[in-house]
Structure 1
């Protein structure tokens, strides 16, 4: 696989034109599933295939950038490591949880994950690995520094950041993603998502909140 010419994590590296192209690719994934081609994306986005190859390298590079662009919509609120308090830590975790629930419940993410699962079982291409590396694993890399900052500020207690992240991820997701992938029509309103984000964050803090120290919970 050729390396994509753009490197996306938060979406800031993309031009507005590239965002339009990736949105077009996402819409095609929703409409056509695994029949995504460079030609179809170029036609939908009104650009040349040469431009796509220049920006993304090849089809896998385009898929990687598409997954990264979707994952970049889950924002991690930056925290001040030196002045971190419980309120700012809680706000950062709630924002992450809310954004992630909005992303995984979108038609584009549902379609993308369904295609990735089918490809992973068939060995058709690397889309499953692409979704893991640039979706779930990328989100872990972005949130773990917040968790580590919470530990340094004596707001959190854990020995393994990965285990703490997995717990938080599980509290946020619950059975939502698998139900959506299986066709359950959950009514996830903004209010419901906000409530779920607050609840998951409070549950996480109850499990990992520091019980002692100057800033203990």
Structure 2
């Protein structure tokens, strides 16, 4: 990553952090931080519990072509018709990815019969190591409904751009293998492919299930 890009990313992170801080301070009675954040960004309608609404006009999601654990081609059209929970990560992730996937699996269990209307998807940001077979085995550890998607580096990069996902290969000092630094939001997409809610890292299954039920 170039110095200019590092500075731009740092400024973006600092800017978002400042807005989150302001949102915490500016909360109205009974208003969550996520709703306050969205209001400060552009008077967007408050989200359901657990979600973060984005201002109108912010595009999330779009065309992509990847493959699932069976090598079957999957595009954005395959996510239409149901709600979709989309999370980006990698199978060698030591912390946030298994935590968020576990929350998604628990959410699917909480939904009961309503889970039929939801399609959870895990997209790798590490196509170099995450083969279709590895993705299939990995997502099965968390819930049978989760679909793991991978592809060529170019295909993964295109999907990440569509969802505004940041990722970068890093090798910690003294480590023998690299890790992937990446953003960790979970996206709730509508039946028409539009963003319905954006879950922060660490969201509880209860919060996620509440928001999903409100959108079913």
Q: Say which structure is richer in strand.
A: 2
Give 1 or 2: higher helix fraction: 1
TM-score interval, normalised by the smaller of the two chains: under 0.3
TM-score where L is the length of structure 1: 0.24
Q: TM-score, normalised by structure 2?
A: 0.24
Larger radius of gyration: 1
Higher RCO (C-alpha under 8 Å, 6+ residues apart): 2
